[in-house]
Amino acid sequence: MTRILIVDDHPVVRNGIRAILSTEADFEVVGEAGDGREAIAAFKAHAPDVVLMDLKMPKMEGPDAIAAIVRQYPEARIVVLTTFDGDEDIHRALSLGALGYVLKDAAGSEIVAAVRAAHAGKRHVSADAAKSLAERPMGRDVTDREIQVLEGIARGKSNKEIGDELSISEATVKSHVNAILSKLEANDRTHAAMIALKRGLIR
């Protein structure tokens, strides 16, 4: 049997995933969790063969849960099942140790295939996610500080307000903004925020 843990904050989604998995005679759902913290506890309790993990959840999000589980259990096999298709979301999840990445609009057969691949220690990335990842710009990664500045821009904050929030000078914020515009190939601040949201750099 392939023992599976389902992690998603929506009970109706968990029920739907469980229904898909129940069509496979050798699949057994051994647990469910509604957020990242519950996922870590459920992994410890059930030691599943495969975890199906959402990204956006309350209390602790999927990426943080993936990192925590893989750090404690390097053999953990995790497949992300989410609506987020931004290249940064995909890159981050796989970098943290996820073996698979499948979008929630995928056919049930693909979810089954992703579970089987993960159980065998193989990677499975859905076609749309793979295309998005392939188009990810290389060598121009946005830094953590630049992401903080981007979050301020997305909230409509001025350079001075962002500087006050981050305890840095207005001139330093301006320097970060210029770097962001260059890295994202954005026309202006609003364009940069839109690109960052689409790619999953910020929420």
Considering the domain delimited by 2-134, tell me its CATH architecture: 3-Layer(aba) Sandwich (3.40)
Q: What percent of the chain has pLDDT over 90?
A: 78
Q: Position of tokens 């750090």?
A: 71
pTM of the model: 0.75
The domain ranges of the chain are: 2-134, 144-199
pLDDT at 140: 63
Task: Decide if pLDDT at 171 tops 80.
Answer: yes
Mean pLDDT for all residues in the chain: 92
pLDDT digits (tens, 9 = 90+) for 178-201: 999 988 888 999 999 988 888 888
Task: Decide if pLDDT at 22 tops 60.
Answer: yes
Q: Give me the CATH topology for the region 144-199.
A: Arc Repressor Mutant, subunit A (1.10.10)
Three-state secondary structure readout of 173-202: HHHHHHHHHHHHCCCCHHHHHHHHHHHCCC
Sort 188 into a burial class: Cβ within 10 Å, 0-12 / 13-18 / 19+.
exposed
